[in-house]
Homo-oligomer: A and B are copies of this chain.
Amino acid sequence: MNTFGKIYTLTSFGESHGPALGGVIDGMPAGMTIDFDEVRRQMSRRRPGRDALVTPRNEADEVEFLSGIMDGITLGSPIGFIIRNTRQRSGDYREMEHAFRPGHADFTYTEKYGLRDWRGGGRASARETAARMVAGALAAQVLAMKGITVKARLVMAGGVPNTATGEDELCDEVREAIVAARAAGDSIGGVVECTVHGVPAGVGEPAAGKLQAMLAAAMMSVPAAKGFEYGMGFAGAARRGSEVIDNWVSAPDDPRGMRAAANNSGGIQGGISNGEDIVMRVAFKPTATLLRDVQTVDDSRNEITLHARGRHDPCVAVRAVPVVEAMAAMTVLDAFLLSKAHIPAGGL
């Protein structure tokens, strides 16, 4: 249950304060020249400690590739990789060994497994997403060969719209909201929007394999994600069909010979891409770790007061932006490769 995808897959491992994180990427097309600098750049977008607005845990997040690549070119065999944890400070968590922190997975892991890694959330830590960044960065490089691009940005944080438009850029109002939350020992949520451009029509499957179902599962597997929508999403539920209908118009210059007048469907119809941009949004909750006293119980069911000392993000949605991109890239590549196997008889 730690494997994402069906054809292009990532099987990930690693706890927040264990020796290393890592994973195995399977289904990578052979013969690709990997741009390792770009992998490094993507890793640095999610990296902790890079900015005053994110957790001060300063991890280098260097990726060591162990297989599946020879002389920088993919072999088609599985790509094993590891990322050493170098800045574990487990001592910060020792006093929480017996506490069930509110809004965290302390209780549920204990209940499921009979024990838990109390060091920084263990497997439940968002640090696990570092492995997804690697698989996403490689997927994006494959997609780029087909002219498919994936771009996400923070569109709202704590109720404040982000008017900045560059990659990972935040407008002053959003920066202020995050700083204010942190100053108060508090946190804020946010919404990330992701657009996938260039997906050809015909990717995705009917019924259980709908492209939006694959994307929703991918996004809802990101820690702190609480909601997913695409196209008109929740807003469309309050509208009339005549307001949001997605007419086709003739477009001789388009490879399809037609295009959607609006793109209210968000690029997917009946579970299958229609060639328009795929547009989705993911809601993230405010971080559960507050730098103030919180009331909870411990594993003996005593009521206790906790005061967190760990290193945390005041707004996880900020660092979630590249993770959303990574999940979108992995999922779209997976669906794309899968669509190669589900073909008209004429294409066998």
Contact = CB atoms under 8 A, between A and B. Distances in A.
A29 B31 CA distance: 28
B345 A74 contact: yes
Contacts of A142: 345, 348
A244 to B, nearest CB: 6
Given A288-B241, A301-B258, A2 B26 contact: yes
B11 A11 contact: yes
Given A286-B236, A341-B341, A209 B29 contact: no
A221 B210 contact: yes
Contacts of A108: 201-202, 204, 268-274
A27 interface: yes
Contacts of A221: 207-208, 210, 212-213, 271
Nearest to A23: B24
Interface stretch (A36-44, A54-62, A78-86): A78-86
A183 interface: no
B238 A158 contact: yes
Contacts of A344: 29-31, 76, 113-115
A343 B29 contact: yes
B241 A188 contact: yes
- Chain B CB within 10 A, most for which of A119, A271, A337: A271
A315 to B, nearest CB: 10
